[in-house]
Structure 1
Amino acid sequence: MKGYIRKILGLGAALEPPESIELPLPTLWLLGNTGAGKSSLVRALTGEAEVGSGFAPCTRTARAFDFPAGHPVLRFLDTRGLGEAGYDPAEDLATAEKGSHAVLVVMRMDDPAQGAVADTLRRVRARRPKVPVLVVHTGGDLVRDAGAQARARGQAQAVMEAAARSALPAVTLSLPEDMDSAEGIDDLRARLGELLPELTLLLMRERDWSEEAARFATLRPMVLWYAGAAGASDAAPLVGSVSVPALQGALLHALARRHGLEWTTARIALFASALGTGAILQYAASHMLRQGAKLVPVYGQTLGAAAAAAASFAATYALGRAASAWLYRAARGETLDSEDLRHLYDEAFTRARHANR
């Protein structure tokens, strides 16, 4: 067990990811008429004060908003041609298909003219039957009468479900100019997490650590590269017992270099103490059990391997997330409270585990 921990924390192979890591941006495709509240929706989800001017043309009939602007991890695609004569969504759909995505059908409850939106959704579902779709009814603050609101929402929902040929999840939002009084955002986040679990990871807000979070955004592709490599290598019997700890150690060395530090024995001990050796021991023990489970005929070669890969992906990502926060402060002569560090690790592990399902 001690040897395993040494591999994780100190003896990682000198393995570097490719110099240029290009990860497709997960894309939320916003389908809706002009004035449906798409920009307000993005502003509510991201917390960005200025969204409209941040959209940039990406096709002849669509524009994109990348979040965050400097080092984006998520893209919102706004289709602008709905309702225009001769509009063909094929080019916009091809753009959305570059990454994991879902379609958000955005409809204002006081706008009954949704024919173009329904036609586009029908074509999208014909081309990609399994694409996740969420109906977002905006204008909850504009239609205050409960009966009128229920009728408007029900009629619009029925039109979209007929176009999709299936039942569709839906949320209702109130998006006034004063976002502090917006309603339904938590429900929207929860629904998005159900449809596309990795979005909960991408939209994770870290308001107290904004500068550190911005720094991690630049390192996130590298962390994901190591996490992906660890998950892939752990799918094979016995290979993961050697490769996963080496990859995790390599990740920690690489992160230290990115923060201008050396991953010394003393620094290893400080980080291990802050994170808690109990958490590392628990993961090491469970990892060894998973290696043994992969040798079981049939089960180990399918379910056991998949579980091992998912756990190694999540643990490697969480280790990288925690180490980045700890190294960020160490480079500035600061310390990170152990409880905060463990909470960050646990939260990153949980969300990465869900995202990898």
Structure 2
Amino acid sequence: MQDILRRMLGQGEALEPPTIEAQVVPTPTLWLLGKTGSGKSSLIRLLTGEAEIGPGFAPCTRTAMAYDFPRERPLLRFLDTRGLGEVGYDPAEDLAAAEEGSHAIVALARLDDPVQGAVTDVVAAVRDRRPRAPILLVHTGADLAPEPAARERARARAQAAFEEAAGGRLAHVVVALPPGAPEAIGIEELHAALAAILPETSLLMMRERAESEEARRFAEHRPLVLWYAGAAAAADTTPIVGAVSVPALQGAMLNALAQRYRVPWTRARIGAFAGALGSGVLLRYAAGYAARQGAKLVPGIGQTLGAAAAATVSFAATYALGRAACFWLDREARGEPANEEVLRRLYAEAFKRARHAPR
């Protein structure tokens, strides 16, 4: 098992790492609409898990503020429209900013505040200018109206007003965001609703929050890993050539990643990584790899279906190996032991996603 990795790394040393420019991906942006005190900061705190929200806001227009999470390399942006309900507020500038950058709108209305005209006016204007803009209505303050019948009457009244402004049905949730409360009410429903209108939000906030720091570092290196995975797939479409070039490409990828994490591969590290990844992963891949290379030598079907199957598996295995290596190298760089269960899960998930990904 360690010999497999050593051979890959040795072959890959001769290959120069490519210059891969990180892809520019728009930051998913949620535009929060609501009167002062409607719970916008509490909602951000709930979704991000950050304790201090106020100091993180930065002006983006004269009447709106932006909150980036995380602040250094944003995965998600909240646009908070300030001043709704104040005399003389003109939402035109905010509407223009939202048209340019936001992906979905979250309108917040407190159940104990029946006066929502300032917010519904903006919702109506948004729908006039952006008919397909996803809008989620969040009824806050469920804890302020504990009596179920009264709470439902207040929700129905606000829901009707917002839907009239929007010109149609609106997805909605009812939540309670009490300051300092150990658990909010309606958080699961909120996550599900956000997932429906903005899938990126669900993925970023629900699946990667626990590993956000490591996940962000991997995102920086993902283009490099994808380049090697694509190169491995291309090399593996021809007989014989793939048997030589794919292990070399994988070794080159591991060497390039080690340089980026500033963690050189040593005999001890190779053994530790191989042990953490597990003998089953590498041995299964090595055995299957030999079979796929042999299948490509069969005239006719082997050179078409066999080559396609080999390319698919090489793409997935290379990507998964890169994902696992990034996690392991990140822990090495910080002097922390890598959780073997997490490492193997990341490999398996990456392999599954990459194997079924269109290319």
TM-score (norm 1): 0.73
Question: 2:19 aligned with 1:16, yes or no?
Answer: yes
Q: Secondary structure of the equivalent of 2:142?
A: coil
For the residues of structure 2 that align with 1:85 and 1:120, how far apart are their CA atoms?
Answer: 11
Q: How does 1:210-229 map to 2 (within 5 A)?
A: 213-214=212-213, 216-217=215-216, 219-226=217-224
**Corresponding residue for residue 170 of structure 1:** 172
Question: Where do residues 33-52 of structure 1 align in structure 2 (5 Å cutoff)?
Answer: 33-52=35-54
Q: Name the structure 2 match of 1:62.
A: 64
Matches of 2:357 and 2:187, distance apart in 1:
20
Query: In the comparison of the two structures, how many residue pairs are matched?
Result: 332
Contact 1:106 1:136 in 2 (8 A): yes
The equivalent of 1:90 in structure 2 is 95
* More displaced 10-residue stretch of structure 1: 229-238 or 271-280: 229-238
Cα distance in 2 for residues equivalent to 1:108 and 1:355 = 43
Structure 2 match to 1:28:
30
SS of residue paired to 2:61: coil
Shift of 1:263: 4.5
Could you tell me which amino acid in structure 2 is paired with residue 90 of structure 1? L
Task: Specify whether residues 232 and 25 from structure 1 end up closer, same or farther in structure 2 by C-alpha distance, changes over 3 A only.
Answer: farther
User: What is the CA deviation profile of residues 91-140 of structure 1, one whole-angstrom value per residue up to 9, with x for unaligned ones?
Assistant: 3214524xxx3211111111222223223223333433333322211101
Kindly tell me: are residues 275 and 15 of structure 1, through their superposed partners in 2, closer, same or farther at Cα, counting changes over 3 Å? Answer: same
Q: How does 1:1-357 map to 2 (within 5 A)?
A: 11=12, 14-18=17-21, 22-83=24-85, 84-88=88-92, 89-97=94-102, 101-203=103-205, 204=207, 207=210, 213-214=212-213, 216-217=215-216, 219-226=217-224, 252-263=254-265, 267=269, 270-276=272-278, 278=280, 316=319, 319-332=321-334, 334-346=336-348
% of aligned pairs identical? 47
Distance 1:354 1:201 in 2: 18
Unaligned segments of structure 2, at least 5 residues: 293-300
In the alignment, the residues of structure 1 paired with residue 17 and residue 184 of structure 2 have an alpha-carbon distance, to the nearest angstrom, of 49
AA of the residue aligned to 2:20: P
Question: 1:196 offset after TM fit, Å?
Answer: 2.1
Q: Is the 8 A contact 1:13 1:249 kept in 2?
A: no
Structure 1 residue 257: deviation in Å?
A: 1.6
What letter corresponds to residue 35 of structure 1 in structure 2?
G
Give, in whole Å, the separation in 2 of the partners of 1:188 and 1:102. Answer: 14
Offset, 1:79: 1.1
Q: What secondary structure does 2:136 align onto? A: strand
Alignment RMSD: 4.5
CA 1:58–1:267: 2 relative to 1, 3 Å: same
Q: 1:23 deviation in Å? A: 3.3
Q: Which range moved further: 181-190 or 159-168?
A: 159-168
Q: Which TM-score applies when normalising by structure 2?
A: 0.72
Distance 1:330 1:237, change over 3 A: closer
- Change beyond 3 A, Cα 1:71–1:113: same
Quickly say closer, same or farther: Cα 1:116–1:102, change in 2 above 3 A: same
Q: 1:227·1:313 contact (CA, 8 Å) conserved in 2?
A: no
What amino acid sits opposite 1:87 in the alignment? P
Q: 1:253 to 1:183 in 2, by over 3 A?
A: farther
CA–CA separation in structure 2 for the residues paired with 1:139 and 1:257: 51
**Maintained 8 Å contact 1:9/1:252:** no
Unmatched 5+ residue regions in structure 1?
Answer: none
